[in-house]
């Protein structure tokens, strides 16, 4: 992973649905040759790692935590 890689984090209740979505996003972005890394977690892990990401996308069911 390059130092200029954009890091995107998807966050939802369990991390399962967003894990699949993150996988699909990563596959599509890999084909464009952009330096983007997409990960997914459940909202309970967010506080511990949020500073490691450039962009965090919250699923609708947890946006009230924001």
SS3 of 62, please? helix
pLDDT, tens digit (0-9, with 9 covering 90-100), for 37-60:
999 999 999 999 999 999 999 988
Share of the chain above pLDDT 90, in %: 65
Of 33, 26, 31, the residue nearest 10 (C-alpha): 26
pLDDT, tens digit (0-9, with 9 covering 90-100), for 16-43:
788 999 999 999 999 998 899 999 999 9
Of 50, 51, 25, the residue nearest 36 (C-alpha): 25
Q: What is the pTM of this model?
A: 0.85
Pick the CATH number of 6-65 from 3.20.20.70, 3.40.50.2300, 3.40.50.150, 1.10.10.10: 3.40.50.2300
Binned at pLDDT 50, 70 and 90, residue 66 comes out as low
Question: Would you list the DSSP string of 19-60?
Answer: HHHHHHHHHHHHHHT--EEEEEEEGGGHHHHGGG-SEEEE-G
């Amino acid at each position: 992973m390059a130092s200029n890689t954009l890091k995107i984090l998807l966050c939802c209740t369990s991390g399962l649905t967003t894990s699949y979505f993150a996988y699909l996003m990563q596959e599509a972005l890999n084909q464009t040759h952009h330096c983007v890394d997409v990960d997914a977690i459940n909202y309970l892990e967010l506080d511990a790692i949020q500073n490691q990401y450039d962009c965090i996308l919250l699923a609708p069911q947890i946006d009230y935590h924001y």
